[in-house]
Chain A
Amino acid sequence: MDGGAVLEVNGIVKRFGSLEALGGVSLSLQSGDILGLIGPNGSGKTTLINVVSGLLYPDAGSLLLYGRRIDRLSPHRRSHLGVNRTFQIPHPFTGLTVRENIDISLLFGRLGNRADLDQRAEDILKLAGLSEFSEHKAGNLNTSQKKMLDLAKALATEPKVLLVDELAAGLNTSEAEAVARLLKEVRKSVDAMIVVEHVMNFIKRVTEDVVVLDAGKVIFSGKFIDAVKDSKVREVYLGKAGGT
């Protein structure tokens, strides 16, 4: 890259009726960045991921991917340009096999072609630890495996920016550790990542850089170790008494 931002989120506003879920959120990702996006329930983390991935359109503000505006593009166009995501609640195609789930992303994703389809699918299944379930129906996987499949589907589109929405939520400690290791591995193949997470220990393992959201606004942007000392952050997580 020529030093420009990979992804720029500028003053994004998203309203649902009278509720302002995002009130002018701005952040920027450079090549190689992994940004932890944290905040209490209802702070707007998933809404922001939905806006960046194209499932929601913003009411104001702009999104730039390598300097190109993408905020009015459909999700499949953004996927072709290199933006992809996982879901907090996984979205596998339950009636299709695990391999077919991956194949769709490989065939229709950013580079979308048939070249080395089997090899590429095997590599991704191996990375996600799903090789032995290749011919299983995705609906028969357990929650942890479905989350891995979600990640594998996103990776199969060969994204440049990956948005990971609470991948470790609901997983036990060893599963979460495996996911953290996996994300570090994934980091090598993408240009930048945003990792949304509730579990602080998980974020700590994945990145040092965090943005804290509260009520749809950025209240902190910086290093994780500074965030835990920040009075505003402590207040939204622990209540007023926590800050004193």
Chain B
Amino acid sequence: MNFRHFFLKDPKRMWPEASMLVAPLAVIFILGPDIYPNQSIFMELAVFIMLADALNIVYGYTGYLPFGFGVFFAVGAYGTAILISHASWQVAPAIIAGACLAALLSLLFTPLLRLSGAYFAISSLAAFEAFYLIFSNTQLTSLTGGPYGISFTQVYNANLDYTAAVVLAIASAIVVLVISKSTFGIALQAIREDRFAVELAGVSSLRYRTYAWLISSFISGIAGGLFGWYQGFFYPEAVFNLTEFSVLVIVFVLFGGKGTVFGPVVGTVILFLVYEILSLTFSNSLLIIFGLLLVVLVLFIPNGIEPLLRKAADLLLYPDGRD
């Protein structure tokens, strides 16, 4: 990246928003497991926040929706698992290497970035399916475990994993905040708005979309590694799960408000908890109820809840209006 193009426009204004992100998330993740003693739910919430932020960078900021986005999550999980189980790597470097593998994979997909709209969305889905078939192939059982799954329980440490996931979920939200306040983020938003006009401004839309794609896939890979570590053992279907790690994440981002800093985080917290509550009480009809809920949300708040929350906050803080 050409760093002369990356600087924060107004760093001072970043701190209030950073504290508004960190404080509520810290409260949820520290007090949550005490109020509802099921750490794995909060662990999944942290993973989903990371995925929502990662998707927001590529979809919210550049306008490119990869349906098969979950492939980076899965590759991160597999990369971590393989390095720990076959090469006896320590967990932290294995997760980072897994994420780097996901980012490397995203580089292979950069020709897809020349496509747009539905073509891009569908081609990424094809890539997802292709990698699912590779990782679950019986020919690769000795490396990936094939359809029988991969186990690396020797490093299992739920509390440490949970702490790491919480810290990194908050960090991923901060990454989005920094991007949004940087000239790099403004260039990405301009790409989303008009990819021809942005070229005339001197921005290589392909190069900047590639940067966004790399950052996004790296964060997804980290989320996958943390998720895999928490499981200790997983089947290919557990990480190559299109409904959970692609579609659900897209829904969280849309519900919260794509291309915003708070939207994907708030959207994930609310909808994930609704999803979990519904799954406890209406396990048989969960997807029907959740689907109907989404139809209502998309019809009535197509831009997500972030703009509404921002208006509500403005009314509370400035009841007489801003000067």
Is A153 among interface residues, defined by CB-CB distance under 8 A? yes
Smallest distance from the beta carbon of B11 to chain A beta carbons, Å?
14
**Which residues of chain B from 198 to 245 have any CB-CB distance to chain A below 8 Å in the complex?**
198-205
Specify which chain A residues have a CB less than 8 angstroms from the CB of B203 in the assembled complex.
76, 104, 108
- Is A113's CB under 8 angstroms from B4's CB? yes
**Which residues of chain B from 159 to 203 have any CB-CB distance to chain A below 8 Å in the complex?**
183, 186-187, 189-190, 193-194, 196-203
Complex Cα distance, B160 from A190, in Å, reads 61
Smallest distance from the beta carbon of A164 to chain B beta carbons, Å?
13
Q: How many residues of A contact B (CB 8 A)?
A: 33
- Is A96's CB under 8 angstroms from B204's CB? no
Question: Which residue of A has the minimal Cβ distance to B191?
Answer: A93
Specify which chain A residues have a CB less than 8 angstroms from the CB of B282 in the assembled complex.
none
Of the 9-residue stretches A2-10, A79-87, A169-177, which lies at the interface with chain B? A79-87
Complex Cα distance, B204 from A31, in Å, reads 28
Specify which chain A residues have a CB less than 8 angstroms from the CB of B183 in the assembled complex.
103-104, 107
A79-B201 in contact given A96-B186, A107-B183 (Cβ < 8 Å): yes
Specify which chain B residues have a CB less than 8 angstroms from the CB of A110 in the assembled complex.
202
- Is B200's CB under 8 angstroms from A84's CB? yes
Smallest distance from the beta carbon of B131 to chain A beta carbons, Å?
30
- Is B202's CB under 8 angstroms from A112's CB? yes
- Is B202's CB under 8 angstroms from A105's CB? yes
Is A74 among interface residues, defined by CB-CB distance under 8 A? yes
Mask, A21-61, CB within 8 Å of B = 1, is 00000000000000000000000000000000111000000
Is B5 among interface residues, defined by CB-CB distance under 8 A? yes
Q: Number of contact residues on B: which range applies? A: 20 to 34
- Is A104's CB under 8 angstroms from B200's CB? no
**Which residues of chain A from 70 to 124 have any CB-CB distance to chain B below 8 Å in the complex?**
74-76, 79-80, 84-85, 87, 91-96, 100-101, 103-105, 107-110, 112-114
Complex Cα distance, B203 from A213, in Å, reads 32
- Is A96's CB under 8 angstroms from B190's CB? yes
Is B119 among interface residues, defined by CB-CB distance under 8 A? no
Smallest distance from the beta carbon of A187 to chain B beta carbons, Å?
20
- Is B202's CB under 8 angstroms from A93's CB? no
Question: Which residue of B has the minimal Cβ distance to A109?
Answer: B202
Question: Which residue of A has the minimal Cβ distance to B186?
Answer: A100
Question: Which residue of B has the minimal Cβ distance to A138?
Answer: B193
Specify which chain B residues have a CB less than 8 angstroms from the CB of A91 in the assembled complex.
194, 196-197
Complex Cα distance, B196 from A85, in Å, reads 11
Is A154 among interface residues, defined by CB-CB distance under 8 A? yes
State which of A92, A96, A108 has its C-beta within 8 Å of the C-beta of B202: A108
- Is B199's CB under 8 angstroms from A104's CB? no
Complex Cα distance, B203 from A74, in Å, reads 10
Is B290 among interface residues, defined by CB-CB distance under 8 A? no
Specify which chain A residues have a CB less than 8 angstroms from the CB of B204 in the assembled complex.
74, 76
Complex Cα distance, B5 from A103, in Å, reads 11
Specify which chain B residues have a CB less than 8 angstroms from the CB of A84 in the assembled complex.
200
Smallest distance from the beta carbon of A242 to chain B beta carbons, Å?
37
- Is B202's CB under 8 angstroms from A79's CB? yes
Question: Which residue of A has the minimal Cβ distance to B7?
Answer: A114
- Is A76's CB under 8 angstroms from B199's CB? yes
Question: Which residue of B has the minimal Cβ distance to A158?
Answer: B202
Smallest distance from the beta carbon of A48 to chain B beta carbons, Å?
16
Complex Cα distance, B94 from A18, in Å, reads 57
- Is A93's CB under 8 angstroms from B200's CB? no
State which of B4, B5, B7, B199 has its C-beta within 8 Å of the C-beta of A74: B199
Complex Cα distance, B183 from A85, in Å, reads 22
- Is A55's CB under 8 angstroms from B196's CB? yes
- Is A53's CB under 8 angstroms from B189's CB? no
Specify which chain B residues have a CB less than 8 angstroms from the CB of A92 in the assembled complex.
197
Specify which chain B residues have a CB less than 8 angstroms from the CB of A153 in the assembled complex.
197, 200-201
Question: Which residue of A has the minimal Cβ distance to B208?
Answer: A108
Complex Cα distance, B189 from A110, in Å, reads 20
A104-B186 in contact given A109-B201, A113-B4, A114-B4 (Cβ < 8 Å): yes
Smallest distance from the beta carbon of B222 to chain A beta carbons, Å?
29
- Is B200's CB under 8 angstroms from A76's CB? yes
Smallest distance from the beta carbon of A92 to chain B beta carbons, Å?
8
Smallest distance from the beta carbon of A71 to chain B beta carbons, Å?
15
Complex Cα distance, B187 from A79, in Å, reads 15
- Is A93's CB under 8 angstroms from B194's CB? yes
Specify which chain B residues have a CB less than 8 angstroms from the CB of A112 in the assembled complex.
4-5, 202
State which of A75, A96, A114 has its C-beta within 8 Å of the C-beta of B200: A75
Known: A87-B197, A93-B193. 20 other contacts (CB 8 A): A74-B199, A74-B204, A76-B202, A76-B204, A76-B205, A80-B202, A84-B200, A85-B200, A91-B194, A94-B193, A95-B189, A96-B186, A96-B189, A96-B193, A104-B190, A104-B198, A105-B202, A108-B202, A112-B202, A114-B4
Binding site for B on A (CB under 8 A): 53-55, 74-76, 79-80, 84-85, 87, 91-96, 100-101, 103-105, 107-110, 112-114, 153-154, 156-157
Q: Name 28 interchain pairs, CB-CB below 8 A, sorted by A.
A: A53-B200, A55-B196, A75-B199, A76-B199, A76-B202, A76-B203, A79-B200, A79-B201, A80-B202, A91-B197, A93-B198, A94-B193, A100-B186, A101-B190, A103-B183, A104-B190, A104-B202, A105-B201, A105-B202, A107-B183, A107-B187, A108-B201, A108-B202, A110-B202, A113-B4, A153-B197, A153-B201, A156-B201
